[in-house]
Structure 1
Amino acid sequence: MVRPELDQSYSNNGRRTGGVPKCCSYKRTTVIICFINIVVALYVFQNLYTSLYSYSYQHSHTAVTYTPDQIKKMEESMRIRKQSEPRKLIEIVKKLKKKLDRREDKVELPQPLKQNLTNEIIELLRGLNSGANTTLQHEAVERWRRQKLKEAKRVIRGKASNSSILPVEAGMLAKVLEFNWAELSSEIGLWIPVNVINNVHDDKPEGEDDFDDIIAGRRLPPECNAELHTDYGGHAVKWGLTHHKDSAYECCQACLDQAKNARPDEKKCNIWVYCPAEEGCHSPDIYQHKLEECWLKYAEEPKVTFKDTYSENYRRNHPNAPMVVPWVSGVISS
């Protein structure tokens, strides 16, 4: 007899393990999972590539194209815009920036040195002719500043043994004279009005005197008798702290108008005092006098309170007093 084939499986040791073979082993499961992951990754990559391609395609088709004429107009517009830039102003700002970058912090001169400089400038101005106008005064002070600056630099280099400038002060003085001269002039009260030169037709009547010192504003009439760097005393007809005028001409005119329209029991203005200095004007009272103050005064016998420069003794007792009297005033001629 032929024995029927038995569908049985045996283990390695000859024992029967069962009638159903194993089809889902660990190795097959791992292979299947890896295969599925590869398929998913390929699907994701395909979608990404498709989206990028479609975006670049759409972008290329929706991009704006310009005609040669439009491109030419845009280039012309950019050229005009560059030409309209304030180049001179930009260059000036750059130069100022470089100059400010070279400057260090503001140097404060010792009070004795500042006093010596003030005395030298006073002696310099006093040595000028009495008829020297403001232009000559400016030139003299500027020459003094340049000479003083050169002397200070020579002291720094050790080439000026007989100089009055101390070596420890030479560096500070050079910086102030070169970079902070305007601030120093303001601190010591040096104010010299600038001569304005106008090339106009000379229709002045013969025999009329010229007014050498030019004051900002309209030409003052002869009856104003304007005097630079002068302060007159007197009874205040109009309080200058609350009475401001744009120019010395208007201040003098206000004095003339007050005298003309004054009541019989009122004092008539015969002295006007005006402050033309931007930093204000000094006076030996408790008030801070500012630019454009116009004082209208009266005095039977007008007397000058200050003339040209404040004395050294006065400035010693009044530390805030500048070197030069900043007021402009005049006595109205009757």
Structure 2
Amino acid sequence: MAAARAAAEAGPDAQVRLERVEDAGPLVSSDEPTRIRSCGSREISRLVGRPVTLALPVGDVRPAAERHELPVDQEELLWLAAAAALELSRSGVEIWRTFATALVERPVTVERLTEFAVSRPELVMEGRRVGFVDREAHRDVRARLPLSGVQQRAIHRALLGLRSDESAYLGAVRPVHAALAGELGEWLTDSDFLVESGWYGLGLGLALAYPEGVPLGGLAGDLHCLLLEGLAAPASHEEWPSWVHHTLVGRGFTAAADEVAARVRLPWQTLWSHWRWPSGYAPRPPAETEQDRILLVHGPDGPTLATQASPGTATARCTSNSGTPGRVSRSVARARSRTPGSFLRSRHSPGSSSAM
């Protein structure tokens, strides 16, 4: 928006220079820099109502002369590759040690890695955290030291042992490491994986796992549709698992759904559903996608959200932590308004209040 305001205030031949585009996105694998470069001009032009050209920032491409020589020692080379495999700008040194151990296939001490980091001009140590001097250097080293599929799988499996110790890193990036290892699909019905994975990492993981497009007709496609509809970013951290739980129920993965519900307190919980996205798996006549209204019913089993539709009604039981289910109602209403027919062929479960 700031770029759009600047373009609107400038003359008709103005160019917009965006600095530090390479730092966009919270993860090293983030695709925001590419999207900004490819779509930024069109979006800003649409906002200001006239053509706007984006000028590349000075120094947008890192000169090869600024690269530092890679280590000669093969073990140190793998230590540097392990650091480049980290996704955050600053990560715990224990995570780096875990990655390095997985690549060299024998134990590595934190002390040796710390000494190595101090000797490397592209690395920075900040207490017990390690990172690169900037995002550009991080991506440059990663490009020069690409990991094989076997090495990516070794890193992902080593990451599983960090569940209790490095939950913040795991929640932010585990789907990305699973995708790079070619193992994302098999983890999508694992309740621990789904509960621990943040929505951003999951979305990026799906993009990396399916570069030609996420296939519809399965759980991966359903989660992708949730993210496309904007149901993750505005939602609280607690509400996103409710949407994941809803998707599992709709796909019939009841065991995984029950495990998710047991792991976290869901603000609202789907009782029964055959969720179908209108952009999905088979064309349907317009009459089947019509919905009249969404209702909040206070019944004997607690507040229940329901949509009136033909031939059925979808319901979700609300267990709002604040005691006021209105926020959840707005979220589901937003989904309904943007995807008519999403609740098609669903109904209230026995014992819940219906709204017709």
TM-score range, shorter chain: under 0.3
Which structure: larger Rg? 1
Question: Which TM-score applies when normalising by structure 1?
Answer: 0.22
